[in-house]
Chains A and B, each alone.
Chain A
Amino acid sequence: MKTTSFPKSLFIGIVFLFLLVPAVQAQNRIGLDAFHNSPDGFHVLIPQGWENLSTQSYARFSNAGVDIYAASVPTEDVQAGIAQAIDLVLPDFDSEPSHVSQVILSNGTWTQQVYPASDEQYVTAYGQVYGGSTYVIVWYSTQPIQPVIVSEEDVQTGITSALAILGSEVDEPTSSETITVNEQTLTQNVYDGITATGRVRGGSTMVMVSTAESEINPTIFFTLLTDFFITPMTTPYLYLGLVATAVITIVFIGSLIIRQRNLQKDLQTLETLQAEGAA
C-alpha cells in the first residue's frame, strides 16, 4: 500500500511542478514590451507613443517625421561603424559629418557625429565600440530638430556650444525658462527662430535644437541613448559554471556508487566467510 500511494503523490507533485511553468509565465508578461531586444546583443528602450518599426537588422522607432535607429556593425573602427550603420538604416543618405566629438554618458563614451542639415534631413549619430562591434544610434528627422551633446556641466554654456556646432550664431536668448517634461527638468532657451532645450546629465549637456514648432518630446532621444544597453559577453563563464556543476555532481554521485559497490563486495565476502565458518 505504501509503495503505491507514494508514487501517486510524487506523480501529482511533479504534475504540479510542471503546471507552475504556464502559471508563472503568465505573470512574466508584465513590462516585457518596454525594451527592443536585438539578436545582435543590444537592448534599447521603446519610447512610449512611438511606432516600433524594428527589423531583425536594426531597431527603428518612428513618430511624426522623426526616426531613431539603433544597429550594430561588426567593426572596431567607430567612425567606419557609424558610416556602415547609416548605410544600413538610411541607404539614400549621403553626407560627411561636420562635427565629430567624444561624449561621456552613464553607459560609456560615445563618438558623436553631427551631419549638416541638407534637403530637410537632420542627422546625428552616436557610436560605441564593444566586444568587436560598433553599436550605433542614429537620429533622423525631416523636421528641423537635431540633437547635440557637449562636454559642459553648465547648461547655458552647453546650449551655446551646441548651437555653435550646428552653425547657429546667436546672441542672448529672448527667453529662458525651466520646464518639466516627463519628470525631467529642462532649460529651454528661445532665440530668434530657434528653440534650444538642454539638460545636464553626468558631465555632459544634452541639447535638442529646433527651428520649428514640434510636438516631438525632445527628451525621448536622450532617454533612449542613456538607456541603451549592450549585453556583455559572459558566455564562457556560463560554460565554466556548467562544467563545474557537472564535475561536482559526478564526483558526489560517483562517490555514492563506488562506496555502494565496495560495500556490496564486502557484504558478499562476509557472507561467504560466514557460510564457510558455518560449514
Chain B
Amino acid sequence: MGAVREMPLAQPEQSVVSQERDRSRLLNIVTIVTIIAVAFGFYLSLFYAGTDIEQGEVQRLFYIHVPSFSGAFMAFGATVIGGILYLRTRNVKWDTLAVAGIEVGLALSVLNLVTGSIWARPIWNTWWNWDPRLTLDAIMILTYSACLMLRNGIENMETRRRFSSVYGILAFTTVIATLMITRIRPDTIHPVVFGPVLTAASQMNAVGGFELAATPGVATAVGYNSAVWCSLVPLTLMWHRIRLENLAQRVNALKARVLSE
C-alpha cells in the first residue's frame, strides 16, 4: 500500500502553466472536432438515412439510442481501468479518470434510457415495461448513481477513492448484464439489431427490430454514429470532467493551505 500521490498545489511552475495551456488548446481542438463529428452524425441520421418502412421516422432515435449506450460502455469501462490502476498505484489521477467515467457514463445511459422510452411508446405501445433489458438498464443507472452519492458521503479521501474504485469495478457487471441479456433470455421483447445473438430463442419475442440493409443509409448512419459516440464523445466529455476534477482538487488543496495559515 503506497502513499497517495496528491495533485501539485497552487502556484504552478512556468513549465506546468505552459503544459496546461497546451492541454487546454488540445482539448479545445478535440471538442470542436467532436462537435463537428456529432453534427455530421445527426445529418446522417436525420437526412441521409432512409425512413424505416415499418416504424416510420421514430426509428431515427435508434441513431442516438444505441450509440449513447456504446459511449456509456466506454465511459464505464474507463471507470474499471481507472479503478484497477488506482488500487495498484494509489495515484489520484486514476481515481479522477474513474469518477469522470462514472459521471459521463451516467449521462449517456440516461440519454439511452430516455430515447429508448420515447421510441417504445409508438413501437411497443408503452413508455416503460419490466422487460429484462429495461429492468437491468434501470438497475445499472441506479447502481452508478448510488456510487456517486455514496462516494460523496465518505469524508476520508483515501477511503473514498478506494471504495469508489472497488465499487466502479464491481458495478461494471451491471453493464455487461445489460448488454448481454437480450442475447440470452427468450422473454425479452427488446430487439438486437446488430452483434451476435447467443441463443436463437432470445429474439423470438423481439418487437421493433429491423434489417440494417433494408433501408438505404441505415447501416452507414449506425456505423458512423456508433464510432463517434463510443470514441470521441466519451473521450471529450471525460476530458472536460477530468479537468474539472483536477481544478476541484487544486481548489481543495489551496483551501486547506489557506485555512492552515
**A43 and B53 within 8 A (CB):** yes
**B37 and A14 within 8 A (CB):** yes
**B58 and A229 within 8 A (CB):** no
**B56 and A235 within 8 A (CB):** yes
CA A28 to CA B211, docked complex, whole Å? 10
CA A256 to CA B241, docked complex, whole Å? 7
Most buried by A among B58, B64, B110, B244: B58
**A238 and B57 within 8 A (CB):** yes
CA A266 to CA B248, docked complex, whole Å? 9
**B60 and A238 within 8 A (CB):** yes
**B214 and A31 within 8 A (CB):** yes
CA A244 to CA B107, docked complex, whole Å? 12
Chain A's interface size range is: 35 or more
Contacts of A24 in B (CB 8 A): 219-220, 223-224
CB contact under 8 A between A27 and B213, given known A252-B107, A270-B255: yes
- Contact pattern, A 1-44, Cβ under 8 Å of B = 1, otherwise 0: 00100110010011001101100110111111001010000010
**A232 and B56 within 8 A (CB):** yes
**A248 and B119 within 8 A (CB):** no
Q: Which B residue's beta carbon lies closest to that of A240?
A: B118
CB contact under 8 A between A31 and B29, given known A231-B53, A234-B56: no
CB contact under 8 A between A27 and B254, given known A245-B111, A256-B244: no
A241 close to chain B: CB less than 8 A? yes
Contacts of B240 in A (CB 8 A): 256
Contacts of A17 in B (CB 8 A): 37, 224, 227-228, 231
CB contact under 8 A between A232 and B55, given known A3-B26, A14-B37, A28-B213: yes
Which among A3, A28, A260, A277 is the interface contact of B244 at CB below 8 angstroms?
A260
CA A14 to CA B110, docked complex, whole Å? 26
CA A256 to CA B31, docked complex, whole Å? 14
- Contact pattern, A 223-236, Cβ under 8 Å of B = 1, otherwise 0: 00000010111110
Contacts of A21 in B (CB 8 A): 44, 220, 224
**A241 and B261 within 8 A (CB):** no
B257 close to chain A: CB less than 8 A? yes
| B122 → A minimal CB distance (Å) | 5
A271 close to chain B: CB less than 8 A? yes
Contacts of A245 in B (CB 8 A): 64, 111, 114-115
Within 8 A of B (CB), among A202-249: 229, 231-235, 237-238, 240-241, 244-245, 248-249
CB contact under 8 A between A260 and B58, given known A24-B220, A31-B214, A270-B258: no
CA A21 to CA B43, docked complex, whole Å? 12
CA A217 to CA B58, docked complex, whole Å? 37
Within 8 A of A (CB), among B197-234: 212-214, 216-220, 223-224, 227-228, 231-232
CA A29 to CA B121, docked complex, whole Å? 31
Contacts of B143 in A (CB 8 A): none
Which among A29, A229, A233, A238 is the interface contact of B61 at CB below 8 angstroms?
A238
Q: Which 9 A-B pairs have the closest CB atoms?
A: A234-B58, A234-B56, A241-B61, A252-B107, A43-B53, A237-B58, A235-B57, A241-B118, A238-B57
A-B residue pairs in contact (CB < 8 Å), sample of 28:
A3-B23, A14-B33, A24-B223, A25-B219, A231-B53, A231-B54, A231-B56, A233-B56, A233-B57, A234-B58, A234-B123, A235-B57, A235-B58, A237-B118, A241-B115, A244-B115, A244-B118, A248-B110, A249-B111, A252-B237, A259-B244, A260-B243, A263-B251, A266-B251, A266-B255, A267-B247, A274-B254, A274-B258
Residue positions of A touching B, CB distance < 8 A: 3, 6-7, 10, 13-14, 17-18, 20-21, 24-25, 27-32, 35, 37, 43, 229, 231-235, 237-238, 240-241, 244-245, 248-249, 252, 256, 259-260, 263-264, 266-267, 270-271, 273-274, 277
Known: A234-B123, A267-B250; 16 extra A-B contacts, CB below 8 A, are A3-B26, A6-B26, A10-B30, A10-B33, A17-B227, A20-B223, A30-B213, A37-B51, A232-B54, A232-B56, A237-B119, A237-B121, A245-B64, A271-B10, A271-B254, A274-B258
